A and B are shown apart, each in its own frame.
Chain A
Amino acid sequence: MKTRLVIAYGVFLIGVLVSSYCFVDPNLQYLQWFYLHFSLRSQPGKIALLLIILVIFFTFYILILRLYQRKILKQKDGIRLITMTVLCLLFSYPAVYSYDIFNYVATAKVAFLYGENPYIVMPIEFTGEPILSFMHAPNKVALYGPGWIILTLLPFIVGGGNFVLTLFSFKAFIIVFYCLLLYLLYKLSKNFFAVLFFGLNPLVVIETIIGGHNDVVMMAFLFIGIYLYLRKNRSFGVIFYICSVITKYATLILLPVFLLLKYTHRREIITQTQLLRWSMYGMIIIFLMSSFREEIYPWYAIWFLPFVALVGSRNEKLLAIVFTFCLELRYFPYMIFLTHFGITPLLKTIITFVPLIVLVVLLFINRVWGKTSLHYLR
């Protein structure tokens, strides 16, 4: 069973890796060979492929978690699965679901190649720049914190002016933080299930290892901060927390939690679980508030998922799994209607929240009237 699962998962990952190149942008001249010989041009075909990948991904994920809980899978098997996922999907084409990684590269180019302030000068101002033909938001100044822009100097240098190399060095750079975050989750929980719950969640895998979103960088810094703070290394804890805030701002909401810790640490009245739980609520609040700014993007779930992995109850974990699946489905209304207007926003909201509300109601009923068929889900 175990060997078959590992082999099947490996085959699936290779399938995802190969099929990711079906989504190469026709304007991306660096990978035009792939586009001309490999790309999938039919929109329904793309939708079907992504949906199938998503469903299989979540099936594997639930299966892996269950087998680990039943002790059929051991910790070393889990490490093997994570390693396989990382090594295989590191080489996948990143812009399958979102195009943010191109923005990271473009911002780094504005700052380090052209020597301009990316908070003032937009990539679109460099007419003739090849990246403009396939990036999706060239008319925006840098959205992320200065910490992130400084950090991108490293993958930008590693890329050595070669776009493909730069793209994959950005992915590798993000994956380093993903691995660091998994390590910290293990150090904080001493429970490998938490690592598997977060690390193999398809949303995390798709948005981080495939898509290269920088949210794990912010979260890795936050968790280094929390880890050091809890290990009484408070000054460095605060420094890493600040690093997290200047990477992507969202963790600023946890400032009251850190301040509370500062004023109460002598009395030791706050436990690690309490701290993590408050942080989880804080990150859920900022996640929901993101709809006021623009919209809830699927990768924002990375802000609270590590906390759910660490301190979430059984029901909260179940809700998180369902919710992450729904969040990934948010891509599909746009893919179907090819517009961000009309029915698309409504469909996105329905897809995201209706299944979650239904599940909450079912869990409530289950709690009040005893066991229902719901226990099969757990």
Chain B
Amino acid sequence: MKQVIIVLLVFASYVSFPHFSFATSSYILPYPSAMPGSKTYPLHRMLEKVLRYWYFGDYGGFAYNRQLSDKYLVEAKTLFEYKQYVLALKALSTSNYYFRQMSSSFTHTPSDKNGRDEKVALMKKAAEKHLEELRRLKANLPKDFRWQDENAQVTELHISRELDYTLNMRKEAL
């Protein structure tokens, strides 16, 4: 009981006091969501697929792709920090997929549709933020990595090449 009270007190004091953070960009990336390996991860993936139908329309699709592109970039970043390079590259590739979808979503949007310019501007902000994070990652990661899994299978991971590809994709969107 005493432990419960202490935990509750710590929690209460945590939520009661303001937390300050200093962001370098006005565009904010989300907190990391469920990570690969967790029990809820497959559920998250399934929900994402279902939600695609909820986010219909040009701007709905744009919001959907942008959110997921951000989410998987954060996932990749977290996994890189934990040296889970295989999973991190997979997440990076998923982020790229959604980013590509986001930038191509404007090809069907009429150029005179109200609010289109703001969405393009938002995409550019997202690209800038992604570039900021990717450059930071690139500076701290090895160029290549030999990954050996539990079955002793060795995979050559070209981290730098993948990051360059991702960086170029974001640069093209600017």
Residues of A within 8 A of B (CB): 114-117, 119-121, 125-129
Contacts and interface: CB of A to CB of B under 8 A. Distances in A.
A128 B54 contact: no
B57 A121 contact: yes
A120 B114 contact: no
A117 B115 contact: no
Contacts of A117: 54-57, 60
A120 B57 CA distance: 10
29 contacts: A114-B57, A114-B58, A114-B113, A114-B114, A115-B56, A115-B57, A115-B58, A116-B56, A116-B57, A116-B59, A116-B60, A117-B55, A117-B56, A117-B60, A119-B54, A120-B55, A120-B59, A121-B57, A121-B59, A125-B115, A125-B118, A125-B119, A126-B113, A126-B114, A126-B115, A127-B115, A127-B118, A128-B115, A129-B114
B121 to A, nearest CB: 10
Contacts of B56: 115-117
Contact of B63 (A115, A120, A126, A128): A120
A230 B143 CA distance: 75
B60 A120 contact: yes
For chain B, what secondary structure do more than half of its interface residues adopt (helix, strand, loop), or is it mixed?
A: helix
A79 to B, nearest CB: 46
B117 interface: yes
Contacts of A127: 114-115, 117-118
B117 A125 contact: no
B50 to A, nearest CB: 14
B114 A128 contact: yes
B124 to A, nearest CB: 16
A120 B55 CA distance: 7
Interface of B: 54-60, 63, 113-115, 117-119
Contacts of A115: 56-58
Which 7 A-B residue pairings sit nearest by Cβ, starting from the closest?
Answer: A116-B57, A126-B114, A126-B115, A128-B114, A129-B114, A117-B60, A125-B115
Given A117-B55, A119-B54, A121-B63, 4 more contacts: A116-B60, A117-B54, A127-B115, A128-B114
Nearest to B112: A128
A113 to B, nearest CB: 10
B108 to A, nearest CB: 11
A365 B118 CA distance: 64
B63 to A, nearest CB: 6
Contacts of A129: 114-115
B172 to A, nearest CB: 25
A363 B113 CA distance: 60
Nearest to A127: B115
A138 to B, nearest CB: 11
B17 to A, nearest CB: 25
B98 to A, nearest CB: 16
A117 B53 CA distance: 10
A115 B119 CA distance: 16
A114 B59 CA distance: 9
A114 B55 CA distance: 13
Nearest to B113: A114
A166 to B, nearest CB: 17
B43 to A, nearest CB: 21
A129 B117 CA distance: 13
A86 B60 CA distance: 39
